[in-house]
Structure 1
């Protein structure tokens, strides 16, 4: 019989099977070979962009992977309606340790209609970390609005990605990850751009929580470790970029600080320019301003970011860092440590993250359909508090579903066994009625009649018969 204890044991086994070791950052001597590469999304569709628009492969909503060489241009075809805002992002992830030139090596992204008209502004993510190779990303959009004249009709469009670079940089091919998202249309009027002075630009003090929680940064957007408001600690290796994500709702803003400790080794007294970087990206992987890189001399150093509050009307602002704060959802933090930091931190450095989500969450603008990634749910908040990655949160949800299903199956079995027992007892009682004679009334050698068993009085009842589920139950 399935008991409550058995069910809970089953849940415990499921939880044990799902347990994932939580390992802190590596503490071995850092080298380019040890630095993890950007992890592409599981299940992403492989696609090969074409150098010609006429041969451009069709791009569907979702994640895609490709690769791009220096000087190469790639075209992708998309069909757009006349009502939906479409976002196209690209992440270029050169191998850690690859040679790159600041501002010289970059991507150019644009959306064009069939007449070659560019929809909105181009995006030009580039490196500015002192020659460090790290993942760069940004997005472009085809936006529908009364303030727009170009690209408002339904029809064929193209995403165009170009890689620019100097000959002094490495010839390596860069892996590309492309994300195509549609934002639900609004139901009702469009919110206006926030007025001047509606929010403060003065950066507040960072959080000073006494307790530091363990964070686990990922290699990119897909395995970013979740963080909630508070102070977090992690480890980072020279040449590495670690990704984190935090849910930010409508009306809220981020106040962030990524910090290196003082160096305890006397190995070096060098001045390292642009050694610690902090970048912020919105839920559609659009850059919220440029990364903040700071220098290091052996004393504590901090890279900081303070964003505008999330508001639908920010998309009408001409300032890029404000414009990107246009929807709620998971915001991503990318922390980079230059390879030259090996002089101070040969085994990697302790990293402190001070994460503050300021402001009270407000109601959204009123999407006509499910907001999807452009929203913050209670489950998102719980995931952030637990410090889980998206994969861990999904696995946890699946296990709970399996556990509840197991409980439900146990209940069904118990009910079925109870019903069978009741039927069996009633059958036995019927066989023992007054007309059955003394033997049927419980005389020596009598047995209750089981379902399917013959009632012939000449048939010998089997010995040691016990109640149990019918055959095939």
Structure 2
């Protein structure tokens, strides 16, 4: 236990640490997840592709592009089904067991994988369920693992039903995520493939034709390698607030449709602050979709009688995304005020949070997995030090840089343990997450540098983006520019992106962007490298993240309650959340935990802003604080 924690305990103070990462993510070693690509080679893949050639030709081209772009240290295998038999009824028995591992999962061998792809001949049935079992058996026995499934139709061999197989793998505790791509599929096939992905916490993506598949397969595969995974306890929101499921602090997993809002109930004690957020991740839809590729989520709050709290500091919150992923976070402090007369949305009690799409991108799946986060912070008797003002200082790191591997979501974000410089390599189209822990009184400043690759030219231009998030996934700051193959830093008009010094009193700060720096815990850095303007152009880009953590830990607020399990989720922590969030324990080094923790959810999300060619840079200014 640190000296600070001991002194707080002696003084009767409670330091609140917000933690939101599943236990398996805490233990994950840096590196890429072994990934098996499962390719449909059934007879229907011989059909013409709208863009020319056959669907099988287009699929082979897409897989070759992925192999060319995959990190050299990644472990990738290839499985195909439908390659050896015809499609007559007499051949069905053999065809429905026709699943072949063409390349075992091993360190990337581009030549061998390309040769295996070139040798595929489409001819038979579609045993998706059997292929999932075969792919799972061919992957390592432990640790994060991924399958990328490309299919142009529904399983023609069930049983086993492929969605049931996916559920079976999940229930067996297999840490495996299936990302599914529907290649020119109908509604029934789309529903089946979406179910497979949702059962394992993966994503589903439509690819209408060969060019679309060529765009999305490398990106979906990169998400698999970076181990994107939706996690949480299953929950089903209702279409009205009546009968909405009650969510205690923790992380949940639901699916969100396009047509109507879904409601969830949260019991908020008098004086407490509630946090509610949602994360949706899905690879980019067609960039030339006629109605655009922007989606927007909205969260609203209602009181126990169903009264809309709009106008009572519960404005509708909307974030937009260009198709890759998005997150939304709402802090509700209505219970911190006393009930008075007939005023609505004040005081402790049951509140309802609704989540809905306000704008939907073209070609987005009818239903998408959504992670929900719920946290409840009790009332305080002493808020501790006054509101912090000013940006945290940025100091150039010294010493040799340290290699780091970012994760594909908040759940598996790469840990940057202290001040210093950290290096990674991003593929075109990747968004990755890193995390830095801040205690009360500490602040963060960081800068991202995209190293030069010499691959200049208009076709190789990509969008470079970085976003800083609070422990409850609220966006703190954001910056982007065009990456043209030359060394580029973000932000390029300021030394760094920064937080304020973390203090409880920041939640009432004059500068709105400082209010999210009101709890300690993991602060998240998301780094994005968009696809090149010409999808086949551009090479992987080395990056470095220079991190400066400033300030000495200081006493935080004194809470009215630090032992109530119903407040912190200490009893019956939902599966998929960080089990350490339910304990009172100290950990090593500068990650000493104190006596109270909020269980919050984690998700894979980054607000993407894509910019066409030309050298252009932007940063969300924090002018109110300057």
Alignment match, 1:91: 279
Unaligned residue ranges in structure 2 (runs of 5+) = 1-25, 35-66, 71-217, 492-496, 569-580, 594-626
Of Structure 1 and Structure 2, the greater strand share is in: 2
Alignment match, 1:463: none
Alignment match, 1:265: 455
Alignment match, 1:213: 402
Residues 195-344 of structure 1: matches in 2 within 5 Å? 199-201=389-391, 204-205=393-394, 207-227=396-416, 228-266=418-456, 268-270=457-459, 272=461, 275-289=463-477, 291-304=478-491, 305-340=497-532
CA 1:78/1:220 → structure 2, altered by over 3 Å: closer, same or farther? same
SS of 2:320's equivalent in the other structure is coil
Residues 76-155 of structure 1: matches in 2 within 5 Å? 76-96=264-284, 104-113=294-303, 114-118=305-309, 120-122=313-315, 124-127=317-320, 131=322, 133-146=324-337, 151-155=345-349
8 Å CA contact retained: 1:71, 1:165:
no
What CA deviation, in whole Å up to 9, does each residue of 1:148-202 have, x standing for no partner? 975333332101111122564634533210011111332x3335862xxx6434x
What CA deviation, in whole Å up to 9, does each residue of 1:378-424 have, x standing for no partner? 5373599xxxxxxxxxxxxxxxxxxxxxxxxxxxxxxxxxxxxxxxx
Following the alignment from structure 1 to structure 2, what is the Cα–Cα distance between the partners of residues 318 and 166? 34
Q: 2:354 aligns with which of 160, 168, 192?
A: 160
What CA deviation, in whole Å up to 9, does each residue of 1:312-340 have, x standing for no partner? 11111253321111111111111111122
Alignment match, 2:609: none
Following the alignment from structure 2 to structure 1, what is the Cα–Cα distance between the partners of residues 421 and 542? 13
What CA deviation, in whole Å up to 9, does each residue of 1:11-32 have, x standing for no partner? xxxxxxx997643699941522
8 Å CA contact retained: 2:28, 2:412:
no
What CA deviation, in whole Å up to 9, does each residue of 1:120-162 have, x standing for no partner? 334635236xx35134232332444359975333332101111
Greater Cα radius of gyration, structure 1 or 2: 1
Alignment match, 2:69: 29
CA 1:55/1:170 → structure 2, altered by over 3 Å: closer, same or farther? same
What CA deviation, in whole Å up to 9, does each residue of 1:37-77 have, x standing for no partner? 573465x2111211212232222221100121334311112
CA 1:350/1:334 → structure 2, altered by over 3 Å: closer, same or farther? same
SS of 1:138's equivalent in the other structure is strand
Following the alignment from structure 1 to structure 2, what is the Cα–Cα distance between the partners of residues 263 and 151? 55
- Which stretch has the larger CA shift, 161-170 or 351-360? 161-170
Residues 2-21 of structure 1: matches in 2 within 5 Å? none
Q: TM-score if structure 2 supplies the norm length?
A: 0.51
Alpha-carbon offset, residue 217 of structure 1 = 1.0
Residues 20-59 of structure 1: matches in 2 within 5 Å? 22-23=30-31, 28-29=68-69, 31-36=218-223, 39-40=228-229, 42=231, 44-59=232-247
Q: 1:381 aligns with which of 590, 597, 613?
A: 590
Q: How many residues align?
A: 356
Following the alignment from structure 2 to structure 1, what is the Cα–Cα distance between the partners of residues 377 and 357? 27
Alpha-carbon offset, residue 106 of structure 1 = 1.2
Q: TM-score if structure 1 supplies the norm length?
A: 0.65
CA 1:302/1:183 → structure 2, altered by over 3 Å: closer, same or farther? same
Unaligned residue ranges in structure 1 (runs of 5+) = 1-17, 385-473
